[in-house]
Structure 1
Amino acid sequence: MAEPFKNLINTEVVQAIGHHLKRVDPGFDRRDFEARALTRLDTLELKARVLQVADALVATLPADVDRAAGLLEASLGPPGAGDDLSALRISERGLAGWAVWPLTEAIARLAIDAPERGLAALHAMTQRLTAEFAIRPFIVRHPAVCYATLARWVRDPSAHVRRLVSEGSRPRLPWGLRLQALVLDPSPTLPWLAVLQDDPSEYVRRSVANHLNDIAKDHPARVAEWLVRHLPGASPERRALLRHASRTLIKKGDPAVLAAWGLGQAFRGEVEWSVAPTRVAIGGETTLRLVLRSTAAKPQRLVIDYAVHHVKANGSTSPKVFKGWTIELGPREERALERRHSFKPVTTRRYYSGVHMVDLRINGQVLGETAVHLRT
């Protein structure tokens, strides 16, 4: 059985933090820090562990912000190089890897009213793990200072710092504080993304794709415009990034985004669509079968997805689009496709009895629909 994720912050990590802070400051009260940090630590989940260790740091570091930040910086080990994250771990030379997460959260508390000093510390820390969560309170409280700093960091020699520009300013970063101002208007981040989308680091480019996908959830037209501007003549690396950034809107069948990818035209041909069985117990599965017969004289690029309209607890339904196939169908070609769909409950979805409509979508258009009766 895999080790629980929460155990990334454990007794050994806390003791390592105490050791390296005592190494750089003999006056640091390591015993008090570890007592605070380790209190019932094993009963907490991952983020709660991180915050408890951060609180212990705030309680035991010097009150002077510059001195406290300097001690945390001095406790760090060598920075990571390029996209290689394997070397980001605690060593005799200092802290790196998961041990750095509580340090970033401590900076977000200690230096929130000294943004320049706080950002300088996060610049160092993100090169040993990431500061994508800790930088967000600074962006909320001091947007002008942060935007000016991030605009400089897009040219930083460290891929970890350049990634922080994109990942730290994502409007809807999972687990992170939502940046509501950027949810409403993502304009400040767009010049940074325009530079970083061609970054030599895949680590950075993947963040840019996820950032653009965040924007797509609130401003689909912005992403469609981005594709019109940046997709023609794009390198293979940029095309891959933009494809990943388009994933939500492609699944939703957004006409402008589909058109940008050459997928906007309606399917020309005949469709046979079936779902069987149509009576399924919760935890069971059904099979989706599709036969396409082209009537076109030219090849057709097709994005084929399906949506399950899940019944909710109150009896209403909510559609969830699932990825099907992306194919090129030749002239007059006939092709059969098949996929199983499970109704097994998962942590993010609970199933309720009732009629779940399943519809077929080709290039964003619904071309078939079947009712599946789900029962306990």
Structure 2
Amino acid sequence: MEPLKEIYSKNWIKNISDQVAKIDSNIKPEEFQKKILESPWKQYELKERINRIAEVFIFFWGNSLTEIEPKLLDLIQLLREEGINDFNFPFIFVNDIVSKAGLNEFDRSMRILEKTTIFSSAEFAIRFYYQNHFEKTLKQMEKWSRHREALVRRLASEGSRPLLPWGIGIPTIKKNPEIHLTILENLWNDENEIVRRSVSNHLNDISKIQPDLVLKFCKNKFGVSEILDKNLKHALRGLLKKGDQRALSYFQYDTKWNPKDLLFKIKKKKIKIGESLEFQFQFMNHSVQKTKLRIEYKIGFLLAKGKLGYKMFQIGEKLLQPNDTIDIVKSHSFKKITTRVYYPGIHTITLVVNGNECMTLKFELLTG
């Protein structure tokens, strides 16, 4: 599978160069393409490539947002006419053009971003305005949370997240995540799923900083609809993984319940990197009541310095009737991946039910 940065292939760059030349006769597509692909383009990662493309537009169009605005909007319109859909990630650089040229032109920048974010999200670009015009940006985002366009409303939530992946950090938001509660109140039950999902992710961010704030926000919002309950559960997913008893109780998980007659075993206690760890667990519900179960397992990965780093994996949910038995066989792959380095040595696996760690087993990971 190609790295994500390869979405900006030579063919893609040629196409966008041709499109720019159509709306700006002063630009020759070959020159535009050559400027983007200048060394060290091949070494650039995704964000660096996005930044380079935006800088090339500034190079040809200058730093005047007044002159950039009509050309940029014409380009977006042309791309739409040629079949490019809105909310299109590769074109996220259009917002970087605005922030690079218009950081000192707040009102004009907001007018443009309100349009460009529909074509490709301005969630990263808006962070620079938080950084330089915090109070004005906060008011603008609150206003956008009531906008008629769903993707503008999404920007109000997504762009203001405390821990936005890839976004520049805004210390004031991290220290005071409650400042965006008005936006989240406006949007948590939005008609559009993409907006609600952003709110869930925003709340999950906050739960890593101020869990009590998120628990309080969610507490009295259950029961409106099944869809909204699902969104609230997504918002609380981090706390559920941590076994937070208050979060678990919101979904009727009995945090005091423990399986009896538990069988938990590993098929092979020594496996090689590249293989899978196979494990099985079995238990019965001895309660006279049906029991709702959230079943997970936690891997203790051996780290470089000899300590264990833990990650939780969800198996699923079960509604166990009285005297019913669960018997599940699962496997966890230790195939090499780019996001994790495996170290040979003793690892652990723990069965977790309703937030309770039921049993831990050890196994050895060997070099392939």
Give the TM-score normalised by the residue count of structure 1: 0.89
Counterpart-to-counterpart distance in 2, 1:256 and 1:128: 40
Return the offset for 1:275.
Answer: 2.0
Q: Contact (CA 8 Å) 1:14, 1:99: kept in 2 or not? A: no
Task: Indicate whether 1:344 and 2:335 are aligned.
Answer: yes
**1:69/1:93 CA distance change after superposition, 3 Å:** farther
Residue 122 of structure 1 corresponds to which residue in structure 2?
113
CA contact (8 A) 1:76 1:93 kept: no
Query: What is the CA distance between 1:50 and its match in structure 2?
Result: 1.4
- The aligned residue for residue 35 of structure 2 is 36
Task: Provide closer, same or farther for how the CA distance between residues 3 and 278 of structure 1 changes in structure 2, counting only shifts above 3 A.
Answer: closer
For structure 1, list consecutive stretches of 5 or more residues without a partner in the other structure. 79-88
2:169 paired with 1:169: no
Q: Quote the residue 2:256 is aligned against.
A: 266
How many residues align structurally? 364
1:256 aligns with 2:246: yes
Distance in 2 of aligned mates of 1:347 and 1:138: 33
Cα distance in 2, alignment partners of residues 311 and 128 from structure 1: 44
Distance 1:296 1:58, change over 3 A: same
Tell me if the contact between 2:127 and 2:159 (Cα under 8 Å) persists in the aligned partners. yes
Give the Cα separation in 1 of the matches to 2:84 and 2:313.
Answer: 45
CA distance 1:161–1:341, shift in 2 (3 Å): same
**Equivalence for 1:62:** 62
Q: Given the superposition, is the C-alpha separation of residues 329 and 98 from structure 1 closer, same or farther in structure 2, using an over 3 Å criterion?
A: closer
Q: Quick check: 1:310–1:356 contact (8 Å CA) kept in 2?
A: yes
Distance 2:100 2:230 in 1: 38
Distance in 1 separating the partners of 2:251 and 2:302: 33
Matched residues in 2 for 1:277 and 1:95: separation?
A: 50
SS at match of 1:77: helix
C-alpha change, 1:312 and 1:95, in structure 2 (3 Å) is: closer
Identity %: 27
* Corresponding residue SS for 2:263: strand
Does 2:181 correspond to 1:198?
A: no
User: What is residue 236 of structure 1 aligned with on the other side?
Assistant: 226
Q: What one-letter code is carried by the residue in structure 1 that aligns with 2:314?
A: K
Q: Conserved in 2, the CA contact under 8 Å of 1:14 and 1:53?
A: no
> 2:254 touches 2:292 (CA, 8 Å); kept in 1?
no
The 1:175–1:352 alpha-carbon spacing in structure 2 relative to 1, beyond 3 Å, is: same
- 2:141 counterpart letter in structure 1: L
Tell me the amino acid that sits aligned with residue 132 of structure 2.
Answer: R
Q: Is 1:137 matched up with 2:128?
A: yes
> Does the Cα contact within 8 Å between 2:178 and 2:213 map onto a contact in 1?
no
Higher mean C-alpha deviation, range 149-158 or range 19-28: 19-28
Q: Is the 8 A contact 1:17 1:95 kept in 2?
A: no
Moved more, 127-136 or 17-26: 17-26
Aligned in 2, Cα 1:66/1:23: closer, same or farther, shift over 3 Å? same
Partner of 2:361, secondary structure, is strand
Decide whether aligned partners of structure 1 residues 350 and 7 sit closer, same or farther in structure 2, where only a CA change above 3 A counts.
closer
Which position in structure 1 is the counterpart of 2:356? 365
- Larger displacement relative to structure 2 (295-304 or 269-278): 269-278
CA RMSD in angstroms, aligned pairs only: 2.4
1:72 is matched with which residue?
Answer: 72
Q: Is the 8 A contact 1:29 1:60 kept in 2?
A: no
User: Can you list the C-alpha shifts for 1:200-253, whole angstroms capped at 9, x where unaligned?
Assistant: 11111121111111112222222222221222x221221111111122211111
Segment drifting more, 97-106 vs 214-223: 97-106
User: Secondary structure of 1:75's match?
Assistant: helix
Is 1:147 the counterpart of 2:146? The answer is no
User: Residue 306 of structure 2 aligns with which residue?
Assistant: 315
**Distance across 1 between alignment mates of 2:326 and 2:297:** 17
SS in 1 for 2:77: coil
